[in-house]
Amino acid sequence: MNSPAPRAALSAVVTTFDNAATLERCLASLAFCDEIVVLDSDSTDATREIAQRHGARVDVEPFKGYGPQKQSAIDRARHDWVLLLDADEHLSEAGRAAIERELRAPRADGYRLPRQEWLFWRWPHPLTRPNWQLRLFRRSRGRMNAVPVHAAPEIDGEPVDLNAPFLHYGEPRLQDRVDKVNRYSSGLLERKRRPALLGMRLLLYPPFAFAKLYFGKRYFLNGWAGYFAAKTQAFYAFLKYAKILESQRKGDL
């Protein structure tokens, strides 16, 4: 009987800053990888100790922006295949098995994986649609884009969807979520300069953002948690354009 082909060597890459509360679960899910690279932004909690306990190669570097920091971590990987996770995410057991199978005979240079979002006090209903994100890719064929806040990896060519679920522990309180969207919308203000039809976007995009999640991704199946998540996403959409209009009227743009 022929033995299965060996899978390609894989580096797990994680950036951290004061993530002791979630990092244990994240790194435990990556134990199957051939190496774990952790790039820390000078944490003051037990983040680095947890990473070292899980056998990660830990480097420390001052934070220089979402995309550049992740790219710096990716550049430290020894292997061409990279699995990129945030410190508040972890790979499911089904996700691990799917990745191991796929890397025995890769069909593409990059893969989008389904991310399941924690909704304040619950995991989503099984029929809620996940967010598909490029997280598994060849380092030689991809790199982080230059988006200031929502930086993401991109590859040369088209990624393939791989049913390898991973889970994201989002904000546990509504206050934390509101603080985050306020901070992120201010970060995006640096990039958005006088978009066309600003007034129309301000009026129409927030309800569209709500409908996209609540109905399009079936967040209505998650009760009040789903409603809160969709409503705060609509508030985020409002803040993005409201802050641009405010700066424009004040003469800052």
Q: What local confidence, expressed as pLDDT, does residue 191 receive?
A: 60
DSSP structural state of residue 54? T
**For residue 1, pLDDT beyond 60:** no
- pLDDT-based confidence at 194, cuts 50/70/90? low
Mean pLDDT of the chain: 92
DSSP-derived 3-state class of residue 159: coil
Give 209's pLDDT tier (boundaries 50, 70, 90).
Answer: very high
How far apart CA 150 and CA 162 sit, in angstroms, is 22
In the predicted model, is pLDDT for residue 3 greater than 80?
Answer: no
Measuring CA to CA, how many Å separate 7 from each of 66, 89, 101, 171?
30, 23, 7, 35
Quick one: CATH architecture of 10-168?
A: Alpha-Beta Complex (3.90)
pLDDT digits (tens, 9 = 90+) for 9-68: 999 999 999 999 999 999 999 999 999 999 999 999 999 999 999 999 999 999 998 899
- pLDDT (tens digit, 9 = 90+) per residue, 123-145? 999 999 999 999 999 999 999 99
- 123/229 Cα distance (integer angstroms): 12
Calculate mean pLDDT across residues 60-78. Answer: 95
Residue 149 has pLDDT above 80, yes or no: no
- 71 confidence band (pLDDT: 50, 70, 90): very high
Mean pLDDT of 92-112: 97
Looking at residue 82, its pLDDT comes to 98
Per residue in 218-247, pLDDT (tens digit) is 999 999 999 999 999 999 999 988 998 888
List the chain domain ranges: 10-168, 174-250
CB 61 within 8 A of CB 41: yes
User: Contact at 8 Å (CB) between 33 and 135?
Assistant: no
